[in-house]
Amino acid sequence: MNIERDNRLDALKAISIIFVLIWHLRPISFFVNNDTHVMIVVIARIVRDLELQLSLLAVPLFFLVSLYLFFIKKPDKEYLKIRLIKLFKLFTFWSIFHNIFVCAVTREVPNFSWDIITGLKPSLPFAGDSVFYFLFNLMVLTIVSFLFFQIKSNKFIKLLSSVTIIFSLLYFETVGIANSSIPYHWLSNFIVYIPIAFYIANYSDKVLKFRFYYLVAYILFSLHDIYLRIYGYNQSIYGRISIVCGALALFCYVYTLKIPENWHIQKLSQYSLGLFAIHKYWQSLLFLLVQHYQISLLPSLVYLNIMFPLIGALVVLLTIVSIYLLKSTSLKQFIGSHSNL
């Protein structure tokens, strides 16, 4: 199957990177305190719920697309080797860059830890943890997916898939009801996408026809999440049933569309890695520059924090400029891909 350029997958990757930018940059942010008008509080809550229920589909959707592409290739050992070498090069390059950047900005050498090995730490000032845990997890998920693909018994695959999906969903719900949470970088958040991606790749018609029910489940469990948040429950970032159903529903709906070729979608998809990797460095630098300022737009009426959309716009612009400059150098391999493979 030729999947060198699939407009549907381009669209999914474009949606995912937009969600990542919205989640990290928070372009709509409010000042809320005890004196804030109730209407502003309600609007701020709605915006935050949309961020938590929509934007957080980004990383699971990236995993789902990547694992789907892996399975659709009918991987052998040689393809696994090529895939892992590519991911390892990306992970190594960005991890080294990240640690050098943090050391230069903070003038401190981070303490060696497992979180540094897995690409989660050190954290960026004002921008939080590194995003490269994604590449580490993707390498592990790729190896597990290869082992999963080697199973020749259809009955055992179906049994293993069912157990994995059911156990993951029950685990997510149990942790949530217990007022606890799963650290967002743990692999246990994402193992569930291996059997889901396998079934989409091999039995797409059977999976896609239930897309309406995935959407209904996503809506219902999103309401469930919102209800728990109202009562102060400590929720997981990715370890929620709503996130799994939402990522699956979005994948299925987009995959069934006839999407024409679009330059903007293709570029977002092609350079999604660059956007994903670079934007947090500009975010950190810009917030360091304005850390002593807090500007609001008509605070007595609207309570909007104008700093977030301004910095967000600059972050996106500077990230695009960075990608434009890098794509003409030998570093272009670390910011983009010219195919969906």
CA angle 231, 235, 241 (to 5 degrees): 110
Domain extent listing, the chain? 7-334
CA 103/CA 84 separation, integer angstroms: 28
Please determine, for residue 330, whether its predicted confidence score (pLDDT) is greater than 90: yes
CA 103/CA 110 separation, integer angstroms: 7
At residue 305, the pLDDT reads 79
At residue 338, the pLDDT reads 58
At residue 117, the pLDDT reads 95
pLDDT band at 337 (very low <50, low <70, confident <90, very high): confident
HEC assignment per residue over the chain? CCCCCCHHHHHHHHHHHHHHHHHHHCCCCECCCCCCCHHHHHHHHHHHHHHHHCHHHHHHHHHHHHHHHHHHCCCCHHHHHHHHHHHHHHHHHHHHHHHHHHHHHHCCCCCCCHHHHCCCCCCECCCECCCCHHHHHHHHHHHHHHHHHCCCCHHHHHHHHHHHHHHHHHHHHHHHHCCCCCCCCCHHHCCCHHHHHHHHHHCHHHHHCCHHHHHHHHHHHHHHHHHHHHCCCCCCCCCCHHHHHHHHHHHHHHHCCCCCCCHHHHHHHHCHHHHHHHHHHHHHHHHHHCCCCCCEECCCCCCEECHHHHHHHHHHHHHHHHHHHHCCCHHHHHCCCCCCC
pLDDT band at 3 (very low <50, low <70, confident <90, very high): very low
pLDDT band at 339 (very low <50, low <70, confident <90, very high): low
At residue 2, the pLDDT reads 42
Could you read off the pLDDT of 136-175 as tens digits, one per residue?
A: 999 999 999 999 999 989 999 999 999 999 999 999 999 9
At residue 298, the pLDDT reads 47
Could you read off the pLDDT of 179-196 as tens digits, one per residue?
A: 999 999 999 999 999 999
At residue 294, the pLDDT reads 56
Residue 233: count of CB within 10 angstroms of its CB? 15
CA 254/CA 260 separation, integer angstroms: 12
At residue 297, the pLDDT reads 47
What is the phi/psi pair of residue 182, to 5°?
-100, 125
**Distance between alpha carbon 97 and the CA centroid of its chain, in Å?**
21
Nearest to 248 by CA among 285, 277, 281, 207: 207
At residue 99, the pLDDT reads 96
HSE of 127, CA atoms in CB hemisphere, 13 A: 31
- Per the prediction, the chain carries an average pLDDT of 92
Residues 6+ apart with CB under 8 A from 140: 187
Once rounded to an integer, what is the mean pLDDT over residues 203-208?
94
**Is-contact 138 80, C-beta < 8 A?**
no
Range with the lowest mean pLDDT among 123-137, 183-197, 288-302, 313-327?
288-302
Q: Pseudo-torsion of CA 73, 79, 81, 82, nearest 10°? A: -100
Could you read off the pLDDT of 44-101 as tens digits, one per residue?
A: 899 999 999 999 999 999 999 999 999 999 999 999 999 999 999 999 999 999 999 9
Range with the lowest mean pLDDT among 58-62, 110-114, 218-222?
110-114
Once rounded to an integer, what is the mean pLDDT over residues 26-38?
82
Tell me the sheet residues that pair with 232: none
pLDDT band at 304 (very low <50, low <70, confident <90, very high): confident
Residue appearing with tokens 């070729």: 261
Q: Among residues of the chain, what percentage have pLDDT more than 70?
A: 94
CA 237/CA 222 separation, integer angstroms: 13
